[in-house]
Amino acid sequence: MTQLATAPRARSGGRQARRALRTAPKFDMLPGLTGTIPLCEVMDGAQVERIDNASMDILENVGVQFRDPIALEDWKKAGAKVEGELVFLDRGLVRELIKTIPSDFTYHARDPKKNVRLGGRHSIFVPMTGAPFLRDLDDVRRNPTLDDLAMFHKLSHMMPALHSSAHHIVEPYDHPISQRHLRITYSSMKHSDKTFMGMTTSPKNAEDVMDMCAILFGDEFMETHPVTTGNCNGNSPLVWDETMLGAMRAFCRRNQPVLCSPFVLGGANTPASVPATVAQLNAEALSALAYTQVIRKGAPAIYGHYLSTVSMKSGAPMAGTPEISLMNFMIGQMARYYGVPWRTSNTLGGAKTFDAQAGYESATTLQAVMHAGANYIWHSAGWNEAGMHCSTAKFIVDAEQCAMAYRMAEGPKWGDFDTAVSAVPDVGPGGHYLGHPHTQENFQEAFFMPDMFDNNSIEQWVAEGSVEITERALNRARKLLSEYQEPTLDIAKNEELLDYIARREREIPAADELNQDY
């Protein structure tokens, strides 16, 4: 009698413990992704060499415009042919320079447990940046503030599949443009202990970011350890400007990685052809990658790009198109051909709200990116309206989509195969596995169970209020923010950072323009 009475309590306690474990907040960051699934390679060896040869012909015969006197002098010293602002790069010189770029490296975060490796099959997910608007916790589209930026940095900190807090996820309009980079960098550092990005909006701003990183990590540590990432966009076709090149020098001199990112609007600033677009983009990226090694031999650098195609109906950029997927596959092959890590953009879309278009565009891009083998997977959460706004709801769902993609890219898990197969004779024909011990012990790890997707019956969904995904995601964001705990920043370093910001804000005029001079 006693045994019959106590047995159910023991089972119930086990179920309750598992349920409590399952529903407890989990904010631990997933390790950097190490992909195992086969990569999609749409070119054969001869076609890769054809792209390479076309790109080298562009570099040797068309040239790349470097609108920067320092870069032009650097190229002359490196042995390149320079005519005015045009630099003609011999393919032998390019190959000699890019071979010193590390094929992989490790980002060092404020919390060493959140260090992540990049390159080869090692990848990280990074939130979107640069949105001039947001859709907030009430799904209202408006101008962002520094508090809104802090909110996204907090959410980045709490989402397991995001490996970085990025930098200006949204633009904080309540601070002057010329000083904004200081507050953005501090917010990235303070509200998360993951790796982050550094502003490259001007050379002076980039130097400020490097100084702030030196306060946080130490000058000597930065000499041998990547701690942040700068992005330098090219002006396609075939132009690199003074602002981006100056910022590139600031990062490379301190041995910090930069994304060398041509900005592609297929059919507008590239030929109306996928292979020809990739050939031009490849030439542009190679010219910048080579220049990083002119600045500092052995400095980490990342083959970057931003891809979109242009609608011939309106001239607007498009995302989620088949050609963008094909270009991602091809660029992945080219980066591996040169042995350098590469960056792409993720979950992009042109939808104005978090609707079906947003979901389809983002899912198409995400799947292509994963099968292309990208390393630095940027714009992974929040992007909508062609980057004009960051959607809080979409940020939450995108981050979960990245966790699902992470799980897929890991490949099948074989660790419990024999045990799982041994359950088949236990159950036999016509039975079910729901109550089997193996299922009870392993169901959480066996199959991803998304929080944001509703898979209940229509009757249950209606009974619970007919809540659609935007509202579910916003409710989730509010709950996460209520549970947020700020990662402790060393008091002395925090004070030094604030002192630095205060000094630089006194030195830089609060002007409505970028800081180029102070």
Q: Give the sheet arrangement for strand 133-135, strand by strand.
A: 141-142, 133-135, 389-391, 383-384
Quick: pLDDT tens for 234-257. Answer: 999 999 999 999 999 999 999 999
Helix/strand/coil percent split, the chain, to 5: 50, 15, 35
Instruction: State residue 381's pLDDT score.
Output: 98
Task: Identify the bridge partners of residue 239 per DSSP, sorted by sequence position.
Answer: 65, 235
Residue 17 CA, chain-centre distance (Å), reads: 36
Give, in order, the Cα–Cα distances in Å from 95 to each of 51, 324, 340, 384. 15, 27, 12, 38
Cα–Cα distance for residue pair 244/57, rounded to 1 Å: 24
What's the CA angle centered on 444, arms 442 and 447, to 5 degrees? Answer: 95
State the pairing for strand pair 64-67/86-88. antiparallel
- pLDDT digit string (tens) for the chain, length 518 residues: 333 333 334 444 555 655 555 555 668 999 999 999 999 999 999 999 999 999 999 999 999 999 999 999 999 999 999 999 999 999 999 999 999 999 999 999 999 999 999 999 999 999 999 999 999 999 999 999 999 999 999 999 999 999 999 999 999 999 999 999 999 999 999 999 999 999 999 999 999 999 999 999 999 999 999 999 999 999 999 999 999 999 999 999 999 999 999 999 988 999 999 999 999 999 999 999 999 999 999 999 999 999 988 887 887 888 889 999 999 999 999 999 999 999 999 999 999 999 999 999 999 999 999 999 999 999 999 999 999 999 999 999 999 999 999 999 999 999 999 999 999 999 999 999 999 999 999 888 889 999 999 999 999 999 999 999 999 999 999 999 999 999 999 999 999 999 999 999 999 999 989 999 99
Work out the angle between the directed axes of helices 203-217 and 491-507 (0-180°, nearest 10). 160
Cα–Cα distance for residue pair 284/306, rounded to 1 Å: 12
Instruction: State residue 23's pLDDT score.
Output: 56
Question: HSE-up of 480 (CA within 13 Å, CB side)?
Answer: 24
Handedness of CA 507, 110, 339, 35 (dihedral sign): negative
Continuous segment of H or E residues that includes residue 240: strand 239-241
Cα–Cα distance for residue pair 299/411, rounded to 1 Å: 32
CB 295 within 8 A of CB 351: no
CB 506 within 8 A of CB 179: no
Q: Give the sheet arrangement for strand 86-88, strand by strand.
A: 81-83, 86-88, 64-67, 239-241
Instruction: State residue 14's pLDDT score.
Output: 59
Instruction: State residue 312's pLDDT score.
Output: 78
Cα–Cα distance for residue pair 347/357, rounded to 1 Å: 11
Cα–Cα distance for residue pair 100/97, rounded to 1 Å: 6
Give, in order, the Cα–Cα distances in Å from 452 to each of 144, 157, 280, 374, 400. 25, 18, 40, 25, 8
Cα–Cα distance for residue pair 281/55, rounded to 1 Å: 8
Listed by start position, the domains of the chain span 97-410, 422-469
Task: Identify the bridge partners of residue 124 per DSSP, sorted by sequence position.
Answer: 376
Instruction: State residue 4's pLDDT score.
Output: 33
The span from the first CA to the last CA of the chain, in angstroms, equals 83
Q: What is the pTM of this model?
A: 0.94
What one-letter code names the amino acid at 194?
K
Residue closest to 162 by CA, chosen among 361, 405, 446, 329: 405
Instruction: State residue 316's pLDDT score.
Output: 80
The pair of structure tokens assigned to 423 is 């359950």
Cα–Cα distance for residue pair 204/200, rounded to 1 Å: 9
Quick: pLDDT tens for 483-501. Answer: 999 999 999 999 999 999 9
Work out the angle between the directed axes of helices 274-295 and 322-338 (0-180°, nearest 10). 40
CB 197 within 8 A of CB 167: yes
Instruction: State residue 7's pLDDT score.
Output: 36
CB 347 within 8 A of CB 309: no
Instruction: State residue 25's pLDDT score.
Output: 61
The CATH architecture to which 97-410 belongs is: Alpha-Beta Barrel (3.20)
Give, in order, the Cα–Cα distances in Å from 285 to each of 53, 140, 258. 14, 38, 12
**Residue 477: left if φ>0, alpha if ψ -120 to 50, beta else—which one?**
alpha
Instruction: State residue 51's pLDDT score.
Output: 98
CB 221 within 8 A of CB 213: no
Asked whether the bond before 429 is cis by omega within 30 degrees of 0, the reply is: no
Cα–Cα distance for residue pair 478/95, rounded to 1 Å: 51
Listed as own residue / partner, the contacts of 268-272 with beta carbons closer than 8 Å and 24 or more positions apart are: 268/310, 268/315, 269/236, 269/237, 270/236, 270/237
Cα–Cα distance for residue pair 230/127, rounded to 1 Å: 14
CB 244 within 8 A of CB 259: no
Residue closest to 323 by CA, chosen among 309, 337, 311: 309
Instruction: State residue 19's pLDDT score.
Output: 58
Residue closest to 408 by CA, chosen among 159, 123, 29, 36: 36
Instruction: State residue 314's pLDDT score.
Output: 82
- Any idea what DSSP says for residue 274? H
